[in-house]
């Protein structure tokens, strides 16, 4: 396949670190979080709980919105026997790295991977931390140097979204080139570097070309209905099932039936909800899905994180459980508002679903949205992801899906 880089002055240069493997003497922007990671490791060692360590975490690069994976110890949280140690199921947490709430030891110890979202991609191709604007690096060489400098373990690519044939060819070429460079790094450092990717079910053809270069995919299943969308119908951010294709089950079914590799894919679950304004009558006989008045082509309302829901008007005493979508909602017809959200019950239902379908794991967006008691994270982590270990066994009815 012939492909070239668009909007890049030069294709990726050779790596500098091969002749200079020691990272430059620069400040580690991840030190505050790394302190929590160290505390987790030390405490787990004292209690003889950690059974196996592996340096295995990831980072995030977006061609437009960039996320850097935080270096972390990955340990077996399911026990020390051979079956659990070989489980390899993932519980991934997204964390932005700034704001009112910092990540804690109790959060980190429940995860297998932690993705740090504190990076932006500039129009000139440079990447920088949002709270550290002096650190700028460029493209593949930038990613590799940044990973070594910050002692990270990989990168997550989040490209919204390659549409044209040329864009897709360039993107595939970029990922394969990045994998090649990571393999060169591995020869020097002796470590495996991770490439993950945020994706949609609509990109199954692109995924098929990338599946041998990407370690795993976090599927965007946390934004089906939102007040910022152009649709004039309300609904939950992350319905497990629905009467149309806007659901976790429908999206994952299409991906798994196309690729035949369920363990390569994680469902993404939200630690936030939303509310819609200007609601009208139901679009069917279901009170959750209602028509709304659009303003300048979009529905009106806002996202609300879990820790702030009550102060933003979510009256949990009036919440109604929606059985099909496995979510909760609150209808306020006087104010013309509909509130939708995931709570501990709905998140556990979806975690159980991921286990039953032998998926690779669960990604949580985002850790700082949880309350100080970690109510949502505790609900998800209470589900034993290793209770159904049947690697790449298809649990969907794929009849009619080619």
Sheet holding 320-322, edge to edge: 301-305, 272-277, 337-341, 327-332, 320-322
Task: Please report the pLDDT score of residue 32 as a whole number.
Answer: 58
The predicted structure's pLDDT at residue 99: 67
Please give the torsion angle defined by the CA atoms of residues 309, 310, 313 and 315, in that order, rounded to the nearest 10 degrees: 110
**pTM summary value:** 0.81
Q: Give the CA count within 13 Å in the CB-facing half-sphere of 351.
A: 26
Measured between alpha carbons, how far is residue 211 from residues 3, 125, 195, 258, 395 in Å? 19, 25, 10, 12, 20
The whole-number pLDDT of residue 97 equals 72
Q: In which element (H, E) is residue 253 found?
A: helix 248-259
The pLDDT value recorded for residue 27 is: 46
Note the pLDDT of residue 313: 92
| Domain 90-225+232-270+343-382 in this protein, CATH class | alpha beta
pLDDT at 160: 73
DSSP 278-305: SEEEESSS-TTSEEE--BTTB--EEEEE
The whole-number mean pLDDT for each consecutive block of 10 residues of the chain, a chain of 402 residues, reads 35 37 46 61 46 30 38 32 55 83 88 80 55 48 80 84 84 89 93 92 87 95 90 94 92 93 96 94 90 88 96 95 97 94 98 95 95 96 85 87 74
């Amino acid at each position: 396949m012939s492909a070239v880089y668009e909007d890049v002055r030069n294709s990726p240069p050779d790596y500098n670190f091969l002749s200079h493997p020691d990272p430059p003497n620069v400040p580690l922007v991840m030190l505050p979080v790394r302190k929590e990671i160290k505390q987790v490791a030390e405490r787990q060692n004292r209690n003889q709980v950690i059974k196996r360590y592996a340096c295995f975490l990831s980072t995030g690069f977006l061609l437009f919105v960039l996320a850097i994976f935080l270096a972390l110890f990955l340990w077996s949280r399911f026990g020390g026997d051979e079956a659990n140690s070989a489980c390899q199921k993932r519980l991934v947490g997204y964390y932005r790295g700034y704001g009112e709430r910092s990540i804690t030891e109790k959060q980190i110890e429940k995860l297998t991977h932690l993705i740090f979202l504190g990076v932006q991609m500039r129009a000139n191709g440079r990447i920088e931390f949002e709270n550290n604007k002096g650190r700028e690096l460029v493209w593949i060489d930038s990613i590799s140097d940044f990973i070594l400098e910050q002692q990270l373990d990989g990168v997550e690519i989040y490209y919204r979204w390659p549409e044209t044939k040329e864009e897709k060819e360039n993107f595939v070429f970029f990922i394969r080139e990045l994998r090649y460079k990571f393999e060169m790094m591995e020869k020097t450092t002796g470590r495996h570097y991770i490439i993950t990717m945020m994706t949609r079910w609509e990109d199954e053809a692109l995924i098929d070309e990338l599946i041998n270069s990407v370690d795993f995919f976090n599927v965007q299943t946390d934004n089906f209905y939102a007040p910022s969308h152009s649709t004039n119908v309300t609904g939950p951010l992350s319905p497990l099932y629905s009467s149309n294709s806007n659901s976790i089950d429908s999206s994952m079914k299409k991906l798994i039936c196309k690729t035949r590799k369920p363990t390569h894919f994680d469902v993404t679950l939200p630690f936030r909800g939303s509310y819609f304004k200007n609601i009208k009558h139901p679009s069917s006989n279901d009170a959750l899905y209602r028509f709304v008045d659009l303003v300048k082509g979009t529905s009106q309302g806002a996202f609300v994180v879990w820790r702030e829901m009550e102060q933003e008007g979510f009256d949990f005493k009036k919440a109604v459980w929606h059985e099909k979508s496995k979510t909760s909602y609150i209808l306020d017809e006087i104010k013309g508002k509909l509130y939708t959200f995931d709570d501990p019950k709905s998140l556990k239902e979806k975690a159980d679903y991921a286990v039953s379908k032998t998926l690779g794991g669960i990604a949580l967006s985002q850790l700082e949205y949880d309350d100080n008691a970690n109510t949502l994270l505790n609900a998800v982590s209470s589900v034993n992801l290793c209770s159904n270990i049947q690697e790449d066994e298809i649990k969907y009815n794929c009849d009619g899906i080619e």
